[in-house]
Amino acid sequence: MSGLAIEYGTHERVREIVDRLTYCAEHVSLAFDGWDEPHVKGPGIYFAVVADRDYGDYADPMGENRWPRESCPTAFAEGEFVEAVESVSRQQDGGIVVAVDGEIEAQMVRFRDLGTRSEEADLVDDVSYEPWMGSRHMSAIETSVRPEVVATVTLSEETGRVSVFRDGDATSMERDDLGGQWRAE
């Protein structure tokens, strides 16, 4: 795919979408109290903000896993969005596709690994993994280097870490650092 006509990574409305996804993932992480309990799996989430809704070239449906579009079709649905993320993060698995206009696709997906097609070979060089990354994070960083993908956002179900990936770069915060000076103790 050639370059996108609009630079979505710096587009104000798209940055607002990525921020909403990030803040909501942080909210879910902070609202869960069982992170320190042994053998407990917490909520987990994986968003991908895409500029092209033809993501079928690099994603496959995750069975019956669905985003609840009937109650929350967009990331701008205020309270409904938070409720949907809380529910999906505990009951579903798969990537959630969010378009650059904020609309959320119903079908949740599994993003394919880089290098599965010959035209992706150069993208693999733009990825470097960190020791803390699990499979969701490795998929998210790989997906973030695709030209059609603006950013990916994850919430780790093991640690509560929230990460944002753009063009193969990670900005990640451990749960104890979420919320900064505004965090209520």
In whole angstroms, give the CA distance from residue 29 to residue 73: 22
Residue of 144, 109, 110, 150 whose CA lies nearest to 124:
144
SS3 content of the chain, % helix, strand, coil (to 5): 35, 25, 40
H/E stretch holding 137 reads: helix 135-144
Which residue ranges of the chain lie beneath pLDDT 70?
1-11, 115-126, 180-185
State pLDDT tens for residues 134-145. Answer: 889 999 999 999
pTM of the model: 0.88
How confident is the model over 23-56, as pLDDT tens digits? 999 999 999 998 888 888 899 999 999 998 788 8
